[in-house]
Structure 1
Amino acid sequence: MDDLMELSTLDYGFIIVFFSTVLAIGVIVSKKSGKNTSEFFLSGRTMPWWLLGLSMVATTFSTDTPNLVTDIVRTNGVSGNWVWWAFLITGLLTVFVYAKLWRKSNVNTDLEFYELRYGGAAASFLRKFRAIYLGVIFNVITMSAVTLAAIKIGGIMLGLEPWQTVISAGLITVIFSALGGFKGVVYTDFLLFFVAMSGAIGAAYYLVNLPEVGGIASLMANEHVTDKLSILPDFSNTQALITLFIIPLAVQWWSSWYPGAEPGGGGYIAQRMLAAKNENHAIGATFFFNIMHYALRPWPWILVALASLVIYPDVASIQEAFPTIADDKLGHDLAYSAMLTKLPSGLLGLVLASLIAAYMSTISTQLNWGSSYIVYDFYKQQINPNASEKRLVAVGRISTVVLMVFSAALALLLQNALQLFEVLLVFGAGTGLIFILRWFWWRINAWSEITAMFASGIISLLLKLTPVGPFFFAPGTGIFPDWSEYIFVVVITTAIWMAATFLTQPESKEVLRSFYMKIQPGGPGWAKVIREAEKDQQKIVTTDEKWSVPSGITAMLLGCVLIYTIMFSTGYWIYGKYVPAIVLTTIAVISGFLLTRVWNRMKGTIL
């Protein structure tokens, strides 16, 4: 049996109109975006919070995300999503502590921060190396995961060969990204968000009510689904409890660098904060993003994943339904695309347009963000310091195309989205604490970050390799149980970078004082620098306002309660469990009220 569907004229109409609109936006804004690098990468720092917030949501609404969530739900149940739900803590710390810091820095990229906070050759090396490390290598890996999802969707729903999907999906994306720059990305994200949300919600509603599924009540009672419904992991299953709940909440959120959820902010989230009109717009954008990203958006995907267990209870049933899918692309994540083949004409076109929208939003953001690293942090620093704005924009456009080509090539070699997520997670383990502390502790230096970066990467690779001879290694399952591998990398990496911090010289007085005067971070971690500056009769504290970080942490905790209770109550309303739904909704209202009061008090403090 092959469930491949033919698209109707109406379906093609949705997709053509969508593509035409996106390309039109790219062409319209291309002239202004190409004026200078500030316009091409930051839209002249004039963006409002709501537009940036929607752009952040649209960017993380990628084609691989529903596939990833489906894989998680089918493998570990709804509670398996704690591996990424835990990053809400990171996100809200960015909102209430770091958003204003980033906006006050006024840097062009978050990597430029390195030469603001550190000094000398080490800072210069760190900036240039991470421009390639993150802007090219990590960026290409991330985009390849998104493109892999597009390949699976194209194969399942349209019967396309991988190369056909890569060319058709990537061509329009790279054209409008290269033309429109950041402004084009953000403006199209506004459209992409609503298309993507409409498609996800419409698909979930229709698929849950398929005759084979029988509606929400029948779905909840199905034998393949009942053991997957719990929002919290099974506390009697020690390994699941540690892996899916304790490690993410206790360690992962602060210790790991992961694209879009960097401790202390960073990457394309920092790019949007830097593009905001002012500090308040930066805060508003990141808070809106976290509410939408965690509290509301996952449920349509979760419902489709649960419904897929009724129709395709295992991978073998997916393979039976779609025999043309290559063995190296088979996995639980295919179930989302498989379910979408059951959509009717019209809705199918809308959902396909929404998936294309999700793909384009994520890829265009990654391309513009990665290109900004290449231009500002590598080309201008290393190759041509005197390059004109016109030349820099041209390099940005060329690097956009090159990044797309590399990511498409890698996508053709990949198999599984969850597999890549886990590799990236371990690869950045142990580095996150530096990104949190470097704003508030003077002793962190460039060597702290360099050491952590290499230690984490090397240790992670060694753990993922299995000896096959005296001198050869191959990819394997590693030497530790899955639940302990992440903690091992965090502990060892943290010990190494802490040792490097105290074994190397601190940053110079001039660098530390200059940073403090510009940012005014406050707190006890800068007391030594302030005292020494006072002895030298240099005033680096320029405000008498109270330090806001304690209030920011309180706001973060209240925000976590607010968003988690919204997320849980939404789930319980859907499940038809009205008592816990009402209780959690009430807690959400109370925490929202308390958060408003704390935030109003924070307005009168430093930062």
Structure 2
Amino acid sequence: MGLPPEPCEMDCSLRSGYFFLAPLAYSDEWRCNGRGIGRVSINVGWFCGELATSLQFMSYIPGMLLQGIDWLILLLFFALSLGIGLYSSKKSSENVQEFFKAGGNLPWWVLGISMVATTFSTDTPNLVTDIVRKNGVSGNWVWWSFLLTGMLTVFFFARLWKRSGVLTDIEFYELRYSGRPASFLRGFRALYLGIFFNVVIISGVSLAAIKIGGVLLGLSPLPVLLISGFVTVLYSTLGGLRGVVFTDFLQFGLSLAGAIAAAWVSVNHPAVGGLDQLIQHPDITDKLNFIPDINHWELFLAVFLIPVFVQWWSVWYPGSEPGGGGFIVQRMLAAKNENHALSSIMLFTIVHYAIRPWPWILVALCSILVFPDMDALRDAFPNADASIVQDDMAYPAMLSFMPVGIMGLVVTSLVAAYMSTLSTMLNLGSSYVVNDFYQRFIRPDASQKHLIAVGRLTTIGIMVVGGYVALHLENALQTFGILLQIGAGTGLIYILRWYWWRINALSELVAMAASFLVALYFAFLHELYFEPLPNAAELIAGILFTTGSWVLTAYWTRATDREVLVAFVQKTKAPGPGWKRIHAYLEKTGQKVDTRQYFDFQAALLAFAAGITAVYAFLFGTGSILFGNPGSGLLLLLLAATAFGVLFLLKKRLL
């Protein structure tokens, strides 16, 4: 490997004044097999009552090992996580309602933060880095657009889900539909989402863990999966959803702190030279736009127009399901009441889109200067498997420059992010398999103790399969694209089934089958006979084919039994003109339901618009200030404050 290069010294932003008084110095050198692989020097002192620091960096050489304090932070986190699992195990073992729903009595703020923690996985900053390096900051519209989906769920679906009283969103099918198609849909969907889809998600986040373990710890993929998965499976199987949710609360704090620390160190890397130099660098300036350049039409169409006007309502994506679904619904069902359900998803939507993205984006921008191309990444990590050295590896690569202590915090934050997503998906997948397949079709008379045991075994099985698939993936954006295409065209049906009586079980089955077949066609067949299409074109084709298929099916096949529709409306008080026929029947038979008790529709529309305005204005206001435009940034933050004020004024009408 040769001799390590000389360190490049720089002063970081916390320094105040011209000199240090009574400094406390710390210096360490990382060694592997007796050879120096990295060095950090930290000088800490006080000047005029303010903390002053300086850091010494050097180029990273693969094989970096955590130091004593770093391991202590990581091991303490593992101990706390297992402690929460053990503490929750007695309560969660009482019955499946406790194990999968935490008794349906949790407060909104715990649930909202749990949702945020779940969506903050190890692959999320990798995905953002991949996007920014390829398409700039504006490329994030492929997921920023899902803010509209989240706000729709807040004001139009949260109360409906809580009022339904189901244990899982899959159980909804036999509440809303009738006959054998409804039963088949529930069972098939339980296995499809509980096993197949969860395995795809788990493999994606595990791939990120593999890359981080390889970069920061020099571990090969299998040991990373064995170590990281063991602790997660252990506390997930012990504590059930209650343990998962309260561990998420701890994990979110660590994840956010680690992301901010990583951004601070990255911006002060000698190749970057600070925030001002970063945003003025010629290789960076063209990547700072919030909206893609319309002159680059294909990019503008793919990352802005389609996501903002089509994708958010038409594509089913985990955590951003139109109308709610998956772990989002699981958390809302665990809330104390309808108001707590609504508030939990509102908190999640604000934090997820308005607060978290910028630390990841800053690290991604810095990585362009430190690792400008694939060759730079390959040179930095010559021992890494060539198949996994992609743009998304630049994020864990930047983490290799973290100093002692901060390294421990950052690594622990990434482990926390991984565990939060993994534990949620394991618990959710297990709930589908146990409640909606095993108990419903195999052992309806099974005891609560037996069902919990099956749930724990299922958790382990899903983890094993997900880990195996992770060993055969290459990058995070690859997984994101697979999930988008599989869900293309199904989103609208998940919105309308709450508001239109004509949708039936067969139309959902057709939508699911059509979107999956289109995904397989573009993945394996299209290029054998035709020229490859852009991803945006594939997505639009999938949406059109799938939507047309299920709409025709809804009209051409038998509607849901009227008795089931009547019971559904009576239980959920589903409003809107799409239920006019059922409402008329209820009035005719003296069973009138006052749907005005559900929500103020006009207030919900106003809140939907205000919520979108508030979050986007806060997001881009913060970004404008970071990118050296304080004037426009402050104006956007003022707009955000005004929009949040409108939401506050609507509070009584909404709750």
TM range (shorter): over 0.9
Query: C-alpha displacement at 1:313, in angstroms?
Result: 0.5
Q: 2:574 aligns with which of 521, 524, 536?
A: 521
Query: C-alpha displacement at 1:210, in angstroms?
Result: 1.7
Does 2:175 match 1:110? no
* Structure-to-structure mapping, 1:67-466, within 5 angstroms: 67-466=126-525
Q: What's the CA shift string for 1:8-27, capped at 9, x where partnerless?
A: 11111111111111111111
Change (3 A) 1:304 1:512: same
Does 2:547 match 1:499? no
Query: What is the distance in 2 between the residues matched to 1:83 and 1:3?
Result: 33
Query: C-alpha displacement at 1:140, in angstroms?
Result: 0.5
Aligned to 1:155, the other structure's residue is in SS state helix
Q: What's the CA shift string for 1:255-294, capped at 9, x where partnerless?
A: 0111100000000000000000001111111000011100
Match of 2:22 in 1: none
Structure 1 counterpart of 2:380, one-letter code: A
Which stretch shifts more, 511-520 or 526-535? 526-535
Q: TM-score, normalised by structure 1?
A: 0.96
Q: What's the CA shift string for 1:375-431, capped at 9, x where partnerless?
A: 100000110011111111111101000011010111011111101101110111000
Query: What is the distance in 2 between the residues matched to 1:131 and 1:299?
Result: 36
Structure 1 counterpart of 2:251, one-letter code: L
* Structure-to-structure mapping, 1:552-571, within 5 angstroms: 552-571=604-623
Query: C-alpha displacement at 1:479, in angstroms?
Result: 4.2
Query: What is the distance in 2 between the residues matched to 1:154 and 1:477?
Result: 40
Query: What is the distance in 2 between the residues matched to 1:42 and 1:123?
Result: 23
Match of 1:548 in 2: 600
Structure 2 counterpart of 1:351, one-letter code: V
Structure 2 unpaired stretches of 5+? 2-60
Query: What is the distance in 2 between the residues matched to 1:362 and 1:483?
Result: 28
Change (3 A) 1:546 1:348: closer
Q: Pairwise CA RMSD of aligned residues?
A: 1.4
Change (3 A) 1:494 1:478: farther
Query: What is the distance in 2 between the residues matched to 1:352 and 1:380?
Result: 40
Q: What's the CA shift string for 1:213-252, capped at 9, x where partnerless?
A: 1000001112221111111111111101100000001000
Match of 2:92 in 1: 33
Residues 113 and 249, structure 2, Cα contact 8 Å, conserved in 1: yes
Structure 1 counterpart of 2:539, one-letter code: Y
Does 2:632 match 1:580? yes
Query: What is the distance in 1 between the residues matched to 2:334 and 2:62?
Result: 45
Aligned length: 596
Query: What is the distance in 2 between the residues matched to 1:457 and 1:540?
Result: 41
Query: What is the distance in 1 between the residues matched to 2:367 and 2:647?
Result: 38
Residues 4 and 341, structure 1, Cα contact 8 Å, conserved in 2: no
Q: 1:530 aligns with which of 583, 594, 603?
A: 583
Query: C-alpha displacement at 1:554, in angstroms?
Result: 2.1
Residues 123 and 446, structure 1, Cα contact 8 Å, conserved in 2: yes
Does 2:547 match 1:484? no
Query: C-alpha displacement at 1:570, in angstroms?
Result: 0.7
Residues 255 and 490, structure 1, Cα contact 8 Å, conserved in 2: yes
Query: What is the distance in 2 between the residues matched to 1:363 and 1:301?
Result: 20
Residues 224 and 313, structure 1, Cα contact 8 Å, conserved in 2: no
Query: What is the distance in 2 between the residues matched to 1:5 and 1:356?
Result: 17
Query: C-alpha displacement at 1:538, in angstroms?
Result: 3.6
Change (3 A) 1:303 1:511: same
Aligned to 2:391, the other structure's residue is in SS state coil
Aligned to 2:269, the other structure's residue is in SS state coil
Query: What is the distance in 1 between the residues matched to 2:306 and 2:526?
Result: 28
Structure 1 or 2: more helix by fraction: 1
Query: What is the distance in 2 between the residues matched to 1:594 and 1:569?
Result: 18
Report % sequence identity.
50
Query: C-alpha displacement at 1:531, in angstroms?
Result: 1.4
Query: C-alpha displacement at 1:556, in angstroms?
Result: 1.1
Does 2:653 match 1:601? yes
Q: What's the CA shift string for 1:153-198, capped at 9, x where partnerless?
A: 0001111000010101111111111111101101111110111111
Query: C-alpha displacement at 1:482, in angstroms?
Result: 2.4
For CA contacts below 8 A with separation 6 or more, give which structure has more relative contact order.
Answer: 1
Residues 368 and 400, structure 1, Cα contact 8 Å, conserved in 2: yes
Which stretch shifts more, 145-154 or 518-527? 518-527
Query: What is the distance in 2 between the residues matched to 1:416 and 1:543?
Result: 47
Residues 4 and 156, structure 1, Cα contact 8 Å, conserved in 2: yes
Structure 1 or 2: more strand by fraction: 2
Residues 41 and 182, structure 1, Cα contact 8 Å, conserved in 2: yes
Change (3 A) 1:140 1:341: same
Residues 573 and 598, structure 2, Cα contact 8 Å, conserved in 1: no
Aligned to 2:157, the other structure's residue is in SS state helix
Structure 1 counterpart of 2:342, one-letter code: I
Query: C-alpha displacement at 1:467, in angstroms?
Result: 6.2
Query: What is the distance in 2 between the residues matched to 1:107 and 1:40?
Result: 14
Residues 466 and 479, structure 1, Cα contact 8 Å, conserved in 2: no
Query: What is the distance in 2 between the residues matched to 1:439 and 1:577?
Result: 44
Q: What's the CA shift string for 1:318-361, capped at 9, x where partnerless?
A: 00000011111110000000110101000000100000000110
Structure 1 counterpart of 2:647, one-letter code: L
Query: C-alpha displacement at 1:477, in angstroms?
Result: 9.4
Which stretch shifts more, 522-531 or 377-386? 522-531
Q: What's the CA shift string for 1:411-457, capped at 9, x where partnerless?
A: 01111110110111011100000100001101111111011000111
Residues 517 and 542, structure 1, Cα contact 8 Å, conserved in 2: no
Query: C-alpha displacement at 1:464, in angstroms?
Result: 1.9
Residues 69 and 404, structure 2, Cα contact 8 Å, conserved in 1: yes
Query: What is the distance in 1 between the residues matched to 2:584 and 2:94?
Result: 45
Which stretch shifts more, 218-227 or 268-277? 218-227
Query: What is the distance in 1 between the residues matched to 2:127 and 2:654?
Result: 37
Query: What is the distance in 2 between the residues matched to 1:525 and 1:170?
Result: 46
- Give the number of the structure whose alpha-carbon radius of gyration is greater: 2
Residues 203 and 351, structure 1, Cα contact 8 Å, conserved in 2: yes
Query: What is the distance in 1 between the residues matched to 2:583 and 2:343?
Result: 31
Query: What is the distance in 1 between the residues matched to 2:531 and 2:244?
Result: 40
Query: What is the distance in 1 between the residues matched to 2:184 and 2:157?
Result: 24
Q: 2:70 aligns with which of 5, 11, 14?
A: 11
Structure 2 counterpart of 1:501, one-letter code: A
Aligned to 2:525, the other structure's residue is in SS state strand
Query: C-alpha displacement at 1:373, in angstroms?
Result: 0.2
Structure 1 unpaired stretches of 5+? none
Q: What's the CA shift string for 1:49-78, capped at 9, x where partnerless?
A: 000011001111100001000000001101
Which stretch shifts more, 383-392 or 25-34? 25-34
Residues 586 and 593, structure 2, Cα contact 8 Å, conserved in 1: no
Aligned to 2:650, the other structure's residue is in SS state helix
